[in-house]
Structure formats: structure tokens, C-alpha cells
């Protein structure tokens, strides 16, 4: 015969009737119980100080609870020998389950040790004694204030209809959910990147009519560069965007779905309820359909937790306290870490920009927006260029040495001015060289001409340039041979003064008795 549980109301009514003086069999007939059951409850009431005829005024909830506790402490079915074996091998079972060994495998390992336990008994022991299969107890977090927190998640949705080539493309969606009102916004896209994350946020602020104070994403690489529960490092592009729009980013912990529980299971709902079975031709149609679903479908459906319609709940309590919505589109910058090449050029967004010579081979930090590209080294701004399209280049001549900048920039006037410094004929020869439809093709010849002045001197080169110009000869190689084979200037024909060498053993005049007098010698000869 099955056991019939006596509820608290029935226990209280039984004792109340007994205290009012009603007989046991009459109580049993009125309540549909067995008289033996009534006698057991009456006996338990007497053990707690009650007696028939006292009146219902002495009956309290504490006494009723004490009487019911007597009958709840009924011993269960006795355990068998297999349960005792589980207790003897408790440490072994606990260790294997801690090492993430499946319970079926644990039973096989016990069998190898000669311990035969039915799987049903082992499973009941693991659940009851070891907490196997039981989720950890969680504490529900209170909802935030109006307009404070917005949780965001992303996931794959469905396929678009075939295009002209018969190919179908699958798209993703950024899903925003308000913590308080559960109002939701969906933004389909093809890739999960920093740019699409910013575009989705911009569309969300326009949809909600304002900006939430805190954004709670997961640790997607589009927003977070390095995940950490205490000090996460955000993507610099998204961090700059958050600063520009005035909201804070509070990332969830890794593999902690409870940190953004309001949106964690929304991916499946959006995929099946919003896009399931729909025939969408392109991304724009998917975005239009998602917006209509958020406003007219999900937004006007009574939420099972708040028991309010999310759209009306949001409009009544959250929208008035949101931060002002942006009025201008955000200029999404590009952050890069280019390396300055040997030609002193660095590439950012497929365009080239010149840098000073001392930065050659250095790794820089670059920020490119719609108008400018800024380069940083050791946290200091070192160069600014106007933004160029992909494939373009921006060259600043001051970044290169003067002798190299002229060639790199095809500066013909600089070469002519350098030639003028070495003489009038050299300057005219250089201008004659560069006087052609494609003058930059003769820049090497001009450099070779300037090299001759350093090798042979300005005078010799000027003299031969005059001869070459009179003959309309503009070949630099022949000019070099002319200079090399030209006769050297004639030396001065005036003979040098004759120097009479001193005698080897010349003695001073004081050693002679008769000093030599040239005048006396002349007189004697006369």
C-alpha cells in the first residue's frame, strides 16, 4: 500500500479538532484518514504538551512543525554491500573524478582491482556523497540601475540566399541586451572585427536612442587584446572609441558565462526565432529584418523574468537616463606597428610614408584616421603625414639627406644649383645634360659630372667643359677621358737660382794670417 503523506494543513486541522474535543474516529472520517494515523499524531501532540479539550488557542506553528518533524525522521531503505564497497574506495573514486575520468571508466578501474560495484549504485553514491553531476551553487546578481549596463555577445546565425554565382554566405550577429529591461538589439555582419564591433555599437546607440554607461562584452579579440579578470588590456582602437563616446568597458572573465548571463543564451534564440526559416538576400535585408524583430517581435513579448514587455519597460525607465546619442559618425582609426624599411618608408593601411633616417629599422606605433597618419616612437610623436589611399605614398624630402633627397624626389633644380657651385662651365654642361623630354633619366650623368669635380678639381673640369660645349659633346665618359689625358699646365720657364754648395772643410777667416781682401787682389792684378 503506498504511503500517504500528511500535509502541514492537514496536521494542523487534525490537532485543532482534537483540541476542541472531537473524537479520533470523527476526525479520521472528516479528514479522510485512517484512525491509526490520527492516533499517532495525537500521541505526538501529547508528547509536546497538548491534551484533548484545551482548545485551539494553544496550538502554534512551532508545535505543528515539531509534530511533523517526528514523522519525517523515518529511516530509509537500508543500504546494501555494494554501497559499503563504495565507501571503502571513496578516496580512489574521488581522485579519479577530480582527474576528469568518466564515471563509467572509474567502474572499470574498480573492476580491475577486484571491486565489483553495479553502475547504478556507483552513480547514486557519487551523486549523493561526492556531488557528482551537480552544478555549483550560484548566487544571482542583482540587476543594475536604469541605463547602466548593456551586455553584448556574438555568434554565427544562418546563410543568405544564393547570389548570382550560386554561392551562399553565412553571417554573424552582434547581440546587445539591456540588463534591466532585457530590451535587445541585433546587428548582422560578416566578420567579427574591431571595425564591425564599433559599427555595431554605433548602430546600437542609434537604436536605443542613447549610450549606456557600461558595456559588458566577452573576451573577443575584436575588443580585448589580453584577457585578465583584474586588468584586461583592451584593443587600442576600441578603447579610444569608448573614451570618445564616454562609456566604460567591463569585460567578462574567461569561460564565465555567468558574468553576462542576460545575453549568453540569446545567440540561439536570435538564430532560431529571428533568422530561422527566413529568406534573406543580402546583409542589409538581414539588418532590416533584425531591427523589426527587436521592435515588434521580441520587444513586444512579455518577458518571463520581468513580466513586462522589454520595449515598453526600456522606454519607461531606461531611455530617459541614457547618455546622449552621438550626432556625428565616428571616424574609426587604424592602429598598426610598422617597421621602417631600408628606404626609410613605413607601410600603414597599404600606403607608404617616409620617416627620418635615425628611425631606420625601428618598430613604430602608427595611428591612421580619415585625415592624418601619426607615428610614435618610445611614446613620442615623431612624424605626421596626410592620409593616403591604398597604394599611395607620402614623401617628406626633409627626412632624407640632401644629397639623396634630390635623387629620390627627382629634384633637377637642386642638381643644377650644385653644378653652378663648381663653375660656370660645369653649370652650363649640367643644364645641357638635363635639357631633354625626360630629364630625370639623365640624373645619374649629372651625378657623375659632379663626381669629376671632386676627383680632378673645379679648374680642370671647367676648362674641359668649355671645350666640350663648343663641340656640342655631352658625353660624360668622353669628358672624363679628356680630363684624364689633357696635358698638365706648363711650368714656369724662369730658371731657378743657382745655389753654390758650401765647402765641406771650410775654415773661418780668423785662422788665416793674411786675410783675403777682394779689393787688394784686384789692385795687385792691375
* pLDDT, tens digit (0-9, with 9 covering 90-100), for 226-238: 999 889 999 989 9
- The tens digit of pLDDT for each residue in 302-341 reads 998 889 999 999 999 999 999 999 999 999 998 899 999 9
Cell for 331?
A: 571616424
Mean pLDDT of the chain: 86
pLDDT of residue 1: 44
Helix (H, G, I), strand (E, B) or coil at 188: strand
Q: What radius of gyration do the chain's Cα atoms show?
A: 50
Smallest CA-to-CA distance from 174 within 202, 149, 147, 148 is with 202
Half-sphere exposure of 96 (CA within 13 A, CB side): 16
What are the helix and strand counts (H, E) for the chain?
21, 14
Alpha-helical regions (H) of 209-350: 236-245, 261-264, 266-269, 283-292, 310-313
Band of the pLDDT at 485, cuts 50, 70, 90? confident
pLDDT of residue 47: 87
- The tens digit of pLDDT for each residue in 429-450 reads 988 888 888 887 788 888 888 8
pLDDT at 402 over 70: no
Interval 35-42 mean pLDDT: 90
Burial 360-379, CB ≥16 within 10 A → b, else e: eebebbbbbeeeebbbebee
Residue 123 exposed, middle or buried by CB count within 10 Å (0-12, 13-18, 19+) = middle
Phi, psi at 396, each rounded to 5°: -105, 115
pLDDT of residue 403: 62
- The tens digit of pLDDT for each residue in 274-295 reads 999 999 999 999 999 999 999 9
- The tens digit of pLDDT for each residue in 354-389 reads 999 889 999 999 999 999 999 999 889 999 999 999
Cell for 203?
A: 548602430
More confident residue, 435 or 146: 146
More confident residue, 332 or 497: 332
- The tens digit of pLDDT for each residue in 235-283 reads 989 999 999 999 999 998 888 877 888 777 889 999 999 999 999 999 9
pLDDT of residue 524: 46
pLDDT of residue 492: 52
Cell for 449?
A: 659630372
Specify the pTM: 0.62
Which region among 52-66, 153-167, 184-198 has the lowest average model confidence (pLDDT)?
A: 52-66
- The tens digit of pLDDT for each residue in 116-139 reads 999 999 999 999 888 887 766 777
CA–CA separation, 221 and 277 (whole Å): 31
The angle, 0 to 180 degrees and rounded to 10, between the axes of the packed helices 412-420 and 424-434 is: 160
Band of the pLDDT at 526, cuts 50, 70, 90? very low
pLDDT of residue 223: 94
Amino acid at each position: 500500500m503506498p504511503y500517504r503523506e500528511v500535509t502541514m494543513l492537514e496536521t494542523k486541522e487534525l490537532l485543532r479538532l482534537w483540541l476542541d474535543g472531537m473524537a479520533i474516529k470523527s476526525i479520521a472520517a472528516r479528514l479522510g484518514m485512517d484512525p491509526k494515523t490520527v492516533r499517532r499524531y495525537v500521541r505526538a501532540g501529547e508528547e509536546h504538551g497538548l491534551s484533548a479539550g484545551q482548545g485551539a488557542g494553544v496550538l502554534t506553528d512551532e508545535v505543528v512543525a515539531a509534530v511533523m518533524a517526528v514523522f519525517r525522521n523515518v529511516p530509509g531503505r537500508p543500504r546494501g554491500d555494494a554501497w559499503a564497497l563504495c565507501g571503502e574506495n571513496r578516496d580512489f573514486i574521488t581522485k579519479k573524478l577530480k582527474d576528469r575520468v568518466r564515471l563509467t571508466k572509474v567502474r572499470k578501474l574498480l573492476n580491475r582491482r577486484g571491486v565489483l560495484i553495479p553502475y547504478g549504485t556507483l552513480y547514486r553514491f557519487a551523486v549523493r556523497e561526492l556531488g557528482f553531476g551537480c552544478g555549483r551553487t550560484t548566487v544571482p546578481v542583482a540587476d543594475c540601475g536604469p541605463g547602466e549596463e548593456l551586455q553584448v555577445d556574438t555568434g554565427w546565425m544562418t546563410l543568405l540566399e544564393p547570389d548570382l554565382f550560386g554561392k551562399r554566405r553565412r553571417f554573424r550577429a552582434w547581440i546587445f541586451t539591456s540588463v534591466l529591461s532585457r530590451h535587445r538589439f541585433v546587428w548582422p555582419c560578416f566578420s567579427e572585427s574591431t571595425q564591425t564591433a564599433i559599427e555595431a555599437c554605433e548602430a546600437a546607440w542609434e537604436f536605443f536612442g542613447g549610450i549606456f554607461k557600461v558595456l559588458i562584452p566577452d573576451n573577443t579579440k575584436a575588443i580585448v587584446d589580453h584577457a585578465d579578470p583584474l586588468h584586461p588590456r583592451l584593443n587600442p582602437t576600441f578603447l579610444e572609441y569608448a573614451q570618445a563616446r564616454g562609456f566604460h568597458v567591463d569585460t567578462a572573465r574567461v569561460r564565465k558565462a555567468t558574468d553576462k548571463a542576460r545575453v549568453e543564451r540569446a545567440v540561439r534564440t536570435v538564430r532560431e526565432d529571428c533568422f530561422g526559416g527566413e529568406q534573406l538576400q543580402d546583409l542589409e535585408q538581414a539588418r532590416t529584418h533584425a531591427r523589426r524583430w527587436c521592435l515588434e517581435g521580441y520587444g513586444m513579448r512579455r518577458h518571463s523574468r520581468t513580466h513586462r514587455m522589454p520595449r515598453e519597460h526600456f522606454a519607461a525607465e531606461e531611455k530617459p537616463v541614457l547618455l546622449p546619442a552621438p550626432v556625428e559618425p565616428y571616424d574609426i582609426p587604424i592602429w598598426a606597428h610598422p617597421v621602417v624599411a631600408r628606404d626609410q618608408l613605413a607601410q600603414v593601411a597599404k600606403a607608404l610614408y617616409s620617416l627620418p633616417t635615425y628611425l631606420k629599422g625601428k618598430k613604430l606605433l602608427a595611428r591612421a584616421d580619415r585625415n592624418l597618419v601619426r607615428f610614435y616612437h618610445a611614446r613620442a610623436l615623431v612624424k605626421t603625414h596626410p592620409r593616403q589611399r591604398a597604394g599611395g605614398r607620402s614623401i617628406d624630402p626633409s627626412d632624407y639627406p640632401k644629397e639623396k633627397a634630390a635623387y629620390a624626389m627627382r629634384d633637377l633644380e637642386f642638381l643644377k644649383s650644385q653644378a653652378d657651385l663648381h663653375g660656370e662651365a660645369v653649370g652650363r654642361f649640367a643644364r645641357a645634360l638635363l635639357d631633354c623630354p625626360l630629364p630625370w633619366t639623365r640624373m645619374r650623368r649629372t651625378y657623375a659630372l659632379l663626381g669629376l669635380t671632386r676627383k680632378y678639381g673645379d679648374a680642370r673640369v671647367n676648362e674641359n667643359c668649355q671645350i666640350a660645349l663648343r663641340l656640342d659633346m655631352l658625353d660624360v665618359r668622353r669628358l672624363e677621358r679628356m680630363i684624364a689625358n689633357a696635358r698638365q699646365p706648363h711650368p714656369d720657364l724662369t730658371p731657378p737660382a743657382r745655389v753654390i754648395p758650401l765647402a765641406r772643410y771650410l775654415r773661418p777667416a780668423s785662422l788665416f794670417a793674411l786675410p783675403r781682401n777682394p779689393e787688394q787682389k784686384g789692385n795687385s792684378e792691375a
